[in-house]
């Protein structure tokens, strides 16, 4: 592992095998870490921690650490400042897309999390290594795929996080899915579906108007043929919108011939968004109906609701930009 990838090494002064004079010269001209922490919510003892990081140009992105009872740590990474997809229930795109993150800015989120784990969890006698990564923070990963793949190549080589421990989430951009399949990487793919018919999906995810569900499923089929990896479908349950047993039957009919796993996600409330969280009964009934139709599903239990855990909430509440030089 190079010094620049070693957790906890935030300055050149920590690189003890370099001559002291050289360390001073490097410190005067370069940065080991460029992102600056603006806000941290949660703690190492909680199930989730959220960080608002300021980049070199003053723009801000969110990074999340999720902790489980097994001592595993999953990082949720952003790929863009803002988002252009405009999903009706998501805070990330409420202010539109500002720009793609550079590969180094994506890498910095991993390094920040690795630093944090090394400094806080090790001190508390807890596991201190990243175990998994999900690329489903702010932005659409496949709209910034070139930079993302560069970043993940660096991370898998430098931090020892295996490709099979990384999941890339997308709204379902067919060209991007095909590019990812052809890249030869062994990452998991998760597709945000949220509706089983185009009319409702158009309302919830405006990008669907230019794509359509069939094109998404065809691209997923191509991905499975190329990689042999089962795709996960993300489905946010919105009370009174897409959470009925009838909705479950439509979804089951759409996916029962697919080699798919459905990840059911009860909506996490977002200020300014009118959707509501479904009842526990509605969630359970939806899951039972899917399984009755032969579609595998799991319910994702929400973590960190009290710390603005939904993508983009913390950035909007604390301001999208900081002071600039």
Average confidence score pLDDT of the chain: 87
Q: Is 21 within the bounds of a domain? A: no
pLDDT above 70 (res 102): yes
CATH number, domain of 212, equals 3.20.20.70
**In the prediction, which pLDDT does 29 show?**
66
pLDDT above 80 (res 277): yes
Task: Give the least confident one: 23-32, 103-112, 253-262.
Answer: 23-32
**In the prediction, which pLDDT does 259 show?**
86
In this predicted model, what pLDDT tens digit does every residue of 38-97 receive, in sequence order?
999 987 778 899 999 999 999 999 999 999 888 899 999 999 999 999 999 988 777 899
Range of the domain at 151: 33-318
Q: Is 13 within the bounds of a domain? A: no
Q: Is 9 within the bounds of a domain? A: no
Q: Is 274 within the bounds of a domain? A: yes
Q: Is 84 within the bounds of a domain? A: yes
Q: Is 54 within the bounds of a domain? A: yes
Q: Give catalytic residues, as residue numbers.
A: 62, 311
Q: Is 324 within the bounds of a domain? A: no
Number of domains in the chain: 1
In this predicted model, what pLDDT tens digit does every residue of 168-227 receive, in sequence order?
999 999 999 999 999 999 899 999 999 999 999 999 999 999 999 999 999 999 999 999
In this prediction, residues 134-138 reach a mean pLDDT of: 95
pTM (predicted TM-score): 0.88
Name the token pair of 159.
Answer: 């931090």
């Amino acid at each position: 592992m190079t010094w620049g990838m070693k957790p906890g090494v935030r300055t050149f002064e920590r690189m003890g095998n370099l001559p002291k004079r050289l360390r001073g010269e490097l410190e005067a001209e370069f940065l080991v870490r460029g992102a600056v922490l603006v806000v941290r919510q949660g703690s190492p003892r909680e199930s989730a921690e959220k960080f608002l990081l300021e980049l070199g140009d003053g723009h801000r992105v969110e990074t999340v650490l999720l902790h489980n009872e097994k001592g595993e740590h999953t990082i949720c990474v952003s790929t863009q400042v803002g988002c252009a997809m405009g999903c009706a229930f998501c805070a990330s795109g409420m202010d539109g897309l500002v720009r793609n993150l550079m590969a180094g800015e994506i890498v910095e989120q991993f390094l920040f999390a690795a630093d944090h784990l090394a400094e806080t969890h090790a001190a508390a006698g807890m596991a201190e290594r990243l175990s998994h990564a999900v690329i489903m923070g702010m932005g659409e990963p496949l709209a910034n795929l070139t930079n993302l793949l560069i970043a993940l190549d660096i991370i898998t080589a430098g931090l020892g996080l295996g490709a099979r421990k990384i999941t890339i989430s997308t709204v379902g951009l067919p060209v991007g899915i095909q590019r990812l399949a052809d890249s030869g990487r062994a990452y998991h793919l998760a597709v945000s579906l949220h509706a089983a018919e185009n009319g409702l999906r158009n309302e919830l995810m405006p990008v669907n108007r230019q794509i359509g569900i069939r094109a998404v499923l065809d691209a997923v089929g191509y991905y499975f043929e190329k990689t042999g990896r089962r795709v996960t479908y993300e489905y946010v349950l919105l009370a009174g919108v897409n959470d009925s047993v009838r909705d479950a039957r439509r979804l089951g009919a759409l996916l029962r011939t697919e080699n798919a796993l459905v990840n059911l996600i009860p909506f996490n409330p977002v200020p300014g968004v009118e959707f509501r969280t479904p009842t526990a009964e509605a969630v359970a009934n939806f899951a039972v109906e899917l399984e009755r139709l032969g579609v595998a599903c799991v319910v994702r239990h929400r973590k960190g609701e009290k710390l603005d855990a939904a993508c983009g909430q913390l950035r909007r509440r604390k301001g999208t930009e900081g002071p600039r030089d």
